[in-house]
Amino acid sequence: MNMSEEQRQQRLTQIKQQWETKRTLNRQLRRIKTKIGVYSAKGGVGKTTVAVNLAVYLAAQGFSVGLLDADIDTPNAAKVIGGGDVPNMADGRIQPAENWGVKVVSMSQFQENEEEAVIWRGPMIHNALNQFLQLTDWGDLDFMVVDMPPGTSDAPLTVMQTLEMDGFVSITTPQALALLDAKRSINMIKKLNVEVLGVVENYTGDVFGSGGGKQLAKEMGLTYFGDIALRPAYRDDSQPTVLGNKDVRAEYDNIWKGIKARLTELEAMPDQVAAAQAAAAEAEGEAEGAEK
């Protein structure tokens, strides 16, 4: 079928705009050195808690850190981190709020009615997240921690495809029953060729036992980053638990050591890095081409 000249021009303009958007986004995202997703197949395993405490921990180490709440169905990371500052939306740009030294942006901050359930489909998630990422002035960050939507369906997949991350920390619980879910989710991530940095076990202790995380890591050939005990300390929401409890801080020292070692290992894989850079350069070249 022949396109009219007008249609052709329209299409061309559309393609140019898409490339321009993608370029701006890439340029902005390049200012974020390392993006780490916190993920699990199930809800309620402590993803948000770990994402928040990890972000706050990294900020306390002197890194510049952002926390992106990408859990569109139950966005509560901004609430959990507390501090109360809300992002400033002037001139159509989003200036993240800074709480406990962490720049925070959450989908929840843009929902008109907090109690309303939002049902997001893949393309909507993709568009919303893209827009969100474009409009936010994160500035230069050492780390962005992403609180992921749970599950193995549309939502987490779309987030993983829209926002390229350096890797994921997979959260699991101590019980053997949870292993199957955890394995399924890790297999999904692997299928997408995304890096699983390692495994963390949450809720370790007398109530739920221990060992699930270690077993999972062993069976999946992953690094075990350590466990996080079930503690009443989490009920105190006056500040993130990692700041007020030295046993919790020790747990995060351990997890951070594991993440750092894995990231260093990945950095030392020149082939993969070169391939990724070549692909990025190619995309950039095509964008330049489309502009002319």
Ligand X SMILES: Nc1ncnc2c1ncn2[C@@H]1O[C@H](COP(=O)(O)OP(=O)(O)O)[C@@H](O)[C@H]1O
* Chain contacts with Mg ion (rule: CB under 5 A): 47-48
Q: How far apart are CA 164 and CA 65, in angstroms?
A: 17
Candidates 46-54, 56-64, 102-110, 120-128; binding stretch for ligand X (CB under 6 A): 46-54
Mark 194-233 as b/e (b = at least 16 C-beta within 10 Å): bbbbbbbbbbbeeeeebebbbbbbeebebebbbbbbbbee
Alpha helices by DSSP H, listed for the chain, are: 5-29, 47-60, 77-81, 122-135, 154-162, 179-191, 212-220, 241-244, 246-267, 270-291
Q: How far apart are CA 91 and CA 96, in angstroms?
A: 14
Q: How far apart are CA 205 and CA 209, in angstroms?
A: 5
Asked if 43 is part of the footprint of ligand X (rule: CB under 6 A), the reply reads yes
Q: Which of 29, 60, 194, 230 binds ligand X (CB under 6 A)?
A: 230
Q: With respect to ligand X, which residue has the nearer C-beta, 21 or 254?
A: 254
Q: With respect to ligand X, which residue has the nearer C-beta, 52 or 263?
A: 52
Element counts in the chain: helices (H) and strands (E) = 10, 8
Residue 155 Cβ vs ligand X, minimum distance, rounded to whole Å: 13
| CB distance 103 to 66 below 8 Å | yes
Asked if 45 is part of the footprint of ligand X (rule: CB under 6 A), the reply reads yes
> Could you give the string, one character per residue 198-227, with x where binding to ligand X holds by CB under 6 A and - elsewhere?
----xx------------------------
Q: Which of 95, 231, 239, 254 binds ligand X (CB under 6 A)?
A: 231
Q: Which of 32, 36, 39, 46 binds ligand X (CB under 6 A)?
A: 46
Number of residues near ligand X (by CB under 6 A): 13
Residue 49 binds which entry of ligand X, Mg ion, none, CB below 5-8 Å type-dependent: ligand X
Residue 256 binds which entry of ligand X, Mg ion, none, CB below 5-8 Å type-dependent: none
Asked if 49 is part of the footprint of ligand X (rule: CB under 6 A), the reply reads yes
φ and ψ of 210, to 5 deg: -160, 165
- Binding region for ligand X (CB under 6 A): 43-49, 202-203, 228, 230-231, 234
